[in-house]
Structure 1
């Protein structure tokens, strides 16, 4: 066992010996400066006695109430300092952990962690600028600003001019954004291809199937735009195949504002859209509408409108009845999964 902390020792109660000596001082009884030295030092530290250097054998008792208040103030200040230190510990460790995790994961040859948005953007710009054959991007995030759109459009125009084939995937809600539509319209005219998908997908950028950028799902306390720069050929090939799987089930888009959902109507006579079937499947599983809206990349208001349309379509007055009608419907058997790579695609 180590020595007790001196500050913890200071917080101990007054010893019985010190109490006994203090009582003798108040009664003006004899006190031996040598024999009672430890008790006198304890009383002096508490502010309960004082001595005249010229008369050390005659200590003077001080008001214990005043001494107690001073002692209490000292302890409260000490506790406040400790509490402030304790409150700072998580902040310090979080900040240091980011550097530690970055160094640990950077040591791998196949991937590198990029924490700062500026570094992520710079690295992607550099990689796209070196693209020679193909650029695949999946962008499930929100719309770009006009300045961001102009920068991306300039970058992609240069890539197309070098003969790079560009394919980009967006959420279906991107059709409602003016900036995204303007970008897609301009780039479609130059040969780029775009599609939209109702359901969520992972963000990625794949360059020449040799390197890729993906969102971070490892480092704790990492910023929201943190990414990994992946160079392992097997992993990059897997990321590209995940993109292809999403691409096969997505709807072509040339910049028009209309939803791409009707293309995924299922077999002839189907009354529901792909989006509506996704909503109904979540309802049947008991998933909250808030979580369904997040997964599909739509607002709660838009989801409520779709549910209202479905209730009218199935003649259901309640959500429970709608779920029951869906369970009886043949449309629940429609397979909306992407086709096998060997099958023909649209």
Structure 2
């Protein structure tokens, strides 16, 4: 330590130049200078009263004083660290505070990796008390198999905990054997599943308290399954209302499940009907298909559908098409 740093450190301890001069004189057995106030050296333990000596004071070893003061500071730091470890326990009280406050505060956290995102969802589900709502807008083949497996595990766990579980899928999931097998077990266990062709945002809502969404702020700078954990009361309530809007407009899985025999139309028939719905003639609709069909072939395909429905005209078929849940099918 150079002289300037030493002088600054001593000044921070409250010692003046007069104190340093007094300590030097007392150490040598001499009287301290006139006008000197002893309280600073006494408080630090650098001198002690000695009425039997001419100087009136005796100097103490500054090294011993330094060790004593360092030890005291270490004890203070230990107590501070212990207190800091106890403070997070106060966050437990948020469970009583949050449900009853009218206005929310900052309540979102970015989770930059899929591992963190799934870990946080799992932790929230562990403490869940009422429900789990999920939406998966991507077709099964475009989803990460590991993430799909985690999603199924969460659904089974929610039902085993006695929670209400609703799962909203892209209609392409109906043709996926793995998803269909899982949904069959979900329905048997008391869960609900619906399908939709609408572009539903991917989300997980737990107890209307926790919302998990994709990272839509900077998708190009994050992992595919990174996202946000939102706990703001108003935002989660709004997301829940959006989820409910899509849910009630969607079709029950069992009403469109091909294995249940409830679907009348074929994939080809639906493709043709969508072309007709877009105001194309039967001849033009056939040319727009892949592979293209002749007008005669299109007429035959539609006649088969009309007969299967027990209808007399294509006008009736189009009315049926405008109302049927089979519009949700790919």
Structure that is richer in helix per residue: 2
TM-score normalised to structure 1 length: 0.45
Of the two, which has the highest radius of gyration?
2
TM-score by length of 2: 0.47
